[in-house]
Structure 1
Amino acid sequence: MENRMTGTLYVVPTPIGNLEDMTLRGLRVLREVDFIAAEDTRHTRKLLSHYEIVPRELFPYHQHNVLGSSEQIVARLREGKSGALVSDAGMPGISDPGAEMIGALLRESLPYIVLPGASASLTALVGSGLDTRMFQFFGFFPRERKGQESLVERLRNEGATTIFYESPHRIRATLQVLYEGVGNRRFVLARELTKLHERYVRGMLCDAPELLSEDDERGEIVLILEGHSQQSEDREESLTNEQIKLRVGRLAAAGIPAKEAMRVVAKEAGLSRREVYQVLLDHADDEF
């Protein structure tokens, strides 16, 4: 091999969908290391089998056994064995316990090498068409209300493009939380990346309910949110009466109480809730 592997842990990215995205270097490492620590050994066996790789030793390393597996890996490295750390998909250490393993190696002064490769977050960001000059990644969107409120408050005036992971059954609620918290911005959902049914859903947060298919339950989603900017401010302050009425109606149709719907649209339009209410009264009989 090009590099001396004795006592070194290799962090090896794996495909996020298309098996052809496995790198030649990654395959070489997986063939030659003494052990492989995997997020899910069953999943990794399928990958290894596809490339006709027979591991010398394969054992689990996941969020439920971090301490024990970390000690196991450290012990093998101290014996002079080389190893590989892999996750089910993408780069180990991104939204999985791989980062804790790196921390353990640093504390133990043991060598490691990170291989470049597949990453769902960066693939989705580039494919989104949103600004890539400055971005941030938050992993999975918080489930607890307190965590959501804290994050939304942080994002309200954040200029960077933001990346999240989310599950199909929670994406509607997450988009609604963002709409209520940061106003109307562009967003992109990346689904089934690198797979046969890969697709991007693009739109404004206010239109999210209409853009999402009721029966689309495939795989993990990457959510890309536009940052706060003068462009979005101008857009928020230029809502027509027609848009105000339509957006209040869409929120109400989604089950949002009338007062809350008016509050959200008022914030989006740069108006008071009373002004939004007056628009609705003045145009109650209008058909746009």
Structure 2
Amino acid sequence: MFKHRSTQRRRVSLAVAGAAGVALAAGVAVSASATSAGVAVSAAAAHSDQARTVKPTIVLVHGAWSDSSSWSGVVKRLQAAGYQVDAPANPLRSLKSDSAYLADYLKTIRGPIILVGHSYGGEVITNAATGNPNVKALVYIAALTPAQGESAATISAEFPGSHLSDNPKAPIPTALNAVPFAQGIGSTGIDLYLKADKYRDVFLSGRFNNATAAQLAATQRPLTAQALVEPSGTPAWKTIPSWYLVASDDRTIPPAAEKFMARRAHAHTVEVNAPHAVALTNPGAVTSLIEKAAAARG
């Protein structure tokens, strides 16, 4: 009898111990799972914080009748602020090929990008950024910001005030020199240079002295006539947040056109009393707008 009770007690003890073991194991499993989930959440939060603190690469795209050196004052300021800055050469051959070239260039950059365009460079960034998830903001500096189907020529025709031509019916704007060149077998293109005696008025609105204006005119890069009339594609500003600097003394793109394009793109807009070459005359204002776009990115 006592032996039977003793056996029962051992069975009950073993059952209790087994249950306790199962409960303990379950507790450990729950605890481990909770810890793992906590670590995962912490890691995700840390990754999110890190993504927000990594500075984006700033890509600066020049327009016609200048080159990448026009960004020198802006590059200096952005680099001093700790940004990686790229100012690739814009080929200025045609809107389609220029945009394709920039789109390929952007694919080589890892991480977030703030894409900046001046003048005709605005058309190029509008097309090149479409579909690139790394481009977090577009910054237009006295730039063309076309809708689909528009060209530089059609935008300019809608707003008076440009000094590029004193005859709106002239096939080539009167402030430009047309230089034919062979671009293939039996094919001829036309390069357009801003005339040296018009450069200070049209591009600089009388800023700088004659010697500096002459130097800039001598080192300008031409735009093809084709690029002026080629229609733009799907605009990236439809889906990417935009910023715009209006140059209120612009004699290349009328300020009224700049304001219209900025409103249409729902861009965060500032206005500066500056000529078309605002990156040369007011690099601090240009840098400030770019930094605002960089700080506001998602």
**TM-score of the superposed pair, with normalisation by structure 2:** 0.29
Indicate the structure whose relative CO is greater, using CA pairs within 8 Å and at least 6 residues apart: 2
